[in-house]
Chains A and B, each alone.
Chain A
């Protein structure tokens, strides 16, 4: 397998709604930003992978077809990936595989979402319709008619975890403290959706219930409109482009993925366990094995935090804290405090900088490209802080069934 680097990363501003742009323009904006970052032109690219989660949001079947010419990829191969919340990760995996296999040398990976053009006439607002559109990810026979939503299904996992490990993620006050920390990080993200908001633990505890008794409004990720892109390159191309940009290369050192069953139950790998997010654990193990690293080697994590309780469990599944003891992230200071690190500091040994972008809760969650957004942040933080390893994580689909993990390494190759 060929060595693969990431040579460019760019995102649009994350907004609750982009009145000024359709997804066509957002994808073009992200592509432009990424090409500028890599100091390249679209003509140099061999192919493209698109991450677009949901046709209903884009209001077009085959939504990527409209983008080909607009992003300068006319007459080149392109493939669209759609894998629920993990769409971004899986589009990145597809781009990485294409370069690793030698089929292409320079692949653009661009993802995004237009989510809040939806409208619910009953409330006169977008949100119930956005929730409904995402709920269409559940089957029409058994689950959707019962009122399944992304929030209730992720909370089902968190509550089952709480049954197995009582008290670990069930403390609302502790979760609110974690939200405060994520908020401070989100304030530093120049593209973040909530960069100007100051959310206190008290406000979190006072925000209204979405799912009882486990999820309040301010513990959930946002609906975001925006796009993000990355460029994956073969080894020689990576080094060549790093000479142009004068930056150290970032290598993809390990990639792992796992999808759990849609059906819930016990006793078979073709049935999902409720009290774990096993897909996260399997994806991470596979990525660590390929990279030859352990979680203790990694000090930057950009994890897919759909909900803060899920983020805690995910950090357990990824191996940064013990399952059942994920509150150690806060109680034992394993999650580094950005106030101590500033813009270029490194976490102490045993600490991890978790979601410096503000994550999906404060940064933004344009579903098809959220994991590109996370990668953009991880690359930026590795370079600014000179931290050698980072992990990017994605999750998605009913009951967090899909999981993906990518280990990135800051190259030591000298640059001009």
Chain B
């Protein structure tokens, strides 16, 4: 699950050396110079070293005060701040916990997490039996697709998972809902990321309902209308071209479709009816919405990104999510070129 990185400043994360003109609100030309304030570190973990050494060994440890019983995980200190700095003892902790509070999902990340959103971070109550205990800052992952609202809610049971290759960082471990741990792995004392299936999550089951067929037909017509107009919009073609070749299966409770992007052109196919899509290749990914209106909303004024963020649109992984901003720009470009009368003549 971890991304390979050989240097601490990622390759390409840099600026050209230079000075250039810049004009601000006052309309006066000024100059700006490129620069950096990087410091490189071989930073000691110091008193935290034992915690990270334990992670490498596949163990989670905390610091326990023999006097008041407070348990700190991670052990932020080995001297109890409540008991006149009494020496604390190392304790092995279970690989289970409860989410202390419903966890936020970051959609707009910091520069160092570029391309990693959406991600979820929360606090895990590990030592649930102790009256005094810290909560562990936690990376929260799911095997059921993108993190989305409704999964990481207060009180859910969580299981600690270790990366197969660990180097001594907090990202060596993460937590998943206990309910996602397959039955046969529940008694494992050390659960490894490779024992879980992250790469090909199954979309949640949806029931086909006749009532939704009408909504689906409207969505399909809206998609096809947009795809047609996009062939006459330079901006939309540019948006689509940035996606390269892409094949997406679309599943809804009213029917299924397929979207294909090739050479700046979007094609929309009905699946399971007449005019079935022409290729039998596997899609790059599936997106699924119980309500087909998610797609007509996309065409009209909404966005697929919002639908995914809010949990109305299911996506398997972050690569799929990263395609959404360009897709979201397509209907906007079509509208803009239409308003500005910049559509090319119909072919």
Binding site for B on A (CB under 8 A): 15, 17-20, 56, 59, 117, 119-123, 127-129, 131-132, 135, 140-143, 145-149, 151-152, 155-156, 159-160, 162-163, 208-215, 262-268, 270-271, 274-275
Partner of B113, one of A147, A160, A211: A147
Do A123 and B110 have beta carbons less than 8 Å apart? no
Subset of 6 A-B contacts with CB under 8 Å: A147-B121, A149-B109, A159-B104, A212-B107, A212-B149, A271-B134
Closest 8 A/B residue pairs (Cβ): A19-B24, A267-B132, A160-B101, A265-B134, A132-B110, A128-B111, A132-B111, A155-B104
A212 and B105 CA atoms in complex are apart in Å by 5
Binding site for A on B (CB under 8 A): 12-15, 22-26, 28, 30, 32, 34-35, 37, 41, 43, 45, 48, 70, 72, 74, 76, 81-82, 100-114, 116, 118-119, 121-123, 125, 130-135, 137-139, 148-149, 154, 169-171, 303, 305-306, 309-311
A211 and B72 CA atoms in complex are apart in Å by 28
A145 and B106 CA atoms in complex are apart in Å by 14
Residues in B neighbouring A121, C-beta threshold 8 A: 12-15
Residues in B neighbouring A264, C-beta threshold 8 A: 100, 123, 134-135, 137
Beyond A156-B123, A209-B306, A264-B135: 10 further Cβ-contacts under 8 Å?
Answer: A20-B30, A131-B108, A143-B137, A146-B171, A156-B122, A163-B101, A211-B106, A265-B72, A268-B132, A271-B132
Cβ of B162 to closest chain A Cβ, rounded Å: 16
A43 and B306 CA atoms in complex are apart in Å by 57
Cβ of A279 to closest chain B Cβ, rounded Å: 17
Do B131 and A267 have beta carbons less than 8 Å apart? yes
Cβ of B325 to closest chain A Cβ, rounded Å: 10
Do A145 and B104 have beta carbons less than 8 Å apart? no
Do A141 and B104 have beta carbons less than 8 Å apart? no
Do A131 and B110 have beta carbons less than 8 Å apart? yes
Query: Which chain B residue has the least Cβ–Cβ distance from A122?
Result: B114
A122 and B322 CA atoms in complex are apart in Å by 14
Residues in B neighbouring A262, C-beta threshold 8 A: 76
Do A145 and B169 have beta carbons less than 8 Å apart? yes
Do B132 and A141 have beta carbons less than 8 Å apart? no
Cβ of B8 to closest chain A Cβ, rounded Å: 11
Do A270 and B137 have beta carbons less than 8 Å apart? no
Query: Which chain B residue has the least Cβ–Cβ distance from A119?
Result: B15
A122 and B123 CA atoms in complex are apart in Å by 30
A214 and B310 CA atoms in complex are apart in Å by 10
A20 and B198 CA atoms in complex are apart in Å by 50
Query: Which chain B residue has the least Cβ–Cβ distance from A157?
Result: B101
Partner of A159, one of B102, B111, B113, B132: B102
**How many CB-defined contacts (below 8 Å) exist between A and B?**
180
Do A156 and B101 have beta carbons less than 8 Å apart? yes
Residues in B neighbouring A129, C-beta threshold 8 A: 111
A122 and B22 CA atoms in complex are apart in Å by 20
Residues in B neighbouring A127, C-beta threshold 8 A: 108
Query: Which chain B residue has the least Cβ–Cβ distance from A117?
Result: B32
Partner of A59, one of B37, B70, B305: B37
Do B25 and A19 have beta carbons less than 8 Å apart? yes
Residues in B neighbouring A19, C-beta threshold 8 A: 22-26, 28, 30, 32
A117 and B81 CA atoms in complex are apart in Å by 40
A149 and B112 CA atoms in complex are apart in Å by 11
Cβ of A408 to closest chain B Cβ, rounded Å: 32
Partner of A263, one of B35, B72, B103: B72
Do B133 and A267 have beta carbons less than 8 Å apart? yes
Given A128-B114, A265-B134, A267-B133: A160 touches B100 (CB 8 Å cut-off): yes
A268 and B137 CA atoms in complex are apart in Å by 18
A180 and B18 CA atoms in complex are apart in Å by 42
Do B119 and A268 have beta carbons less than 8 Å apart? no
Residues in A neighbouring B109, C-beta threshold 8 A: 128, 131, 147, 149
Given A265-B132, A271-B134: A156 touches B305 (CB 8 Å cut-off): no
Cβ of B132 to closest chain A Cβ, rounded Å: 3
Cβ of A299 to closest chain B Cβ, rounded Å: 34
Residues in B neighbouring A263, C-beta threshold 8 A: 72, 76, 134
Do A213 and B170 have beta carbons less than 8 Å apart? no
Residues in B neighbouring A56, C-beta threshold 8 A: 37
Do A160 and B134 have beta carbons less than 8 Å apart? no
A128 and B72 CA atoms in complex are apart in Å by 32
A147 and B82 CA atoms in complex are apart in Å by 30
Query: Which chain A residue has the least Cβ–Cβ distance from B171?
Result: A145
Do A20 and B170 have beta carbons less than 8 Å apart? no
Residues in A neighbouring B30, C-beta threshold 8 A: 19-20
